[in-house]
Amino acid sequence: MPRRRDPYACPVCGTRAEPKRTWQLVSPFPDAQGRVTVTVMGSFECPNCGHKWRTAISKIKVGASGVEVESGGRRVTRQERPEERRGEVIEIDIDEE
49 binding Zn ion? (CB under 5 A): yes
51 binds Zn ion (CB under 5 A): yes
49 versus 90: smaller Cβ distance to Zn ion: 49
- Give the residue with the Cβ less far from Zn ion, 14 or 30: 14
Site for Zn ion in 4-33 (CB under 5 A): 10, 12-13, 15
Task: Name which position in 22, 24, 33, 48 contacts Zn ion (CB under 5 A).
Answer: 48
SS3 annotation, 58-78? EEEEEECCEEEEEECCEEEEE
Q: How many CA atoms lie within 13 A of 72 on its CB side?
A: 10
One-letter identity of residue 96 = E
Size of the site for Zn ion (CB under 5 A): 8
Edge-to-edge strands of the sheet including 52-63? 21-26, 36-45, 52-63, 66-71, 74-79
Residues of this chain that bind Zn ion (CB under 5 A): 10, 12-13, 15, 46, 48-49, 51
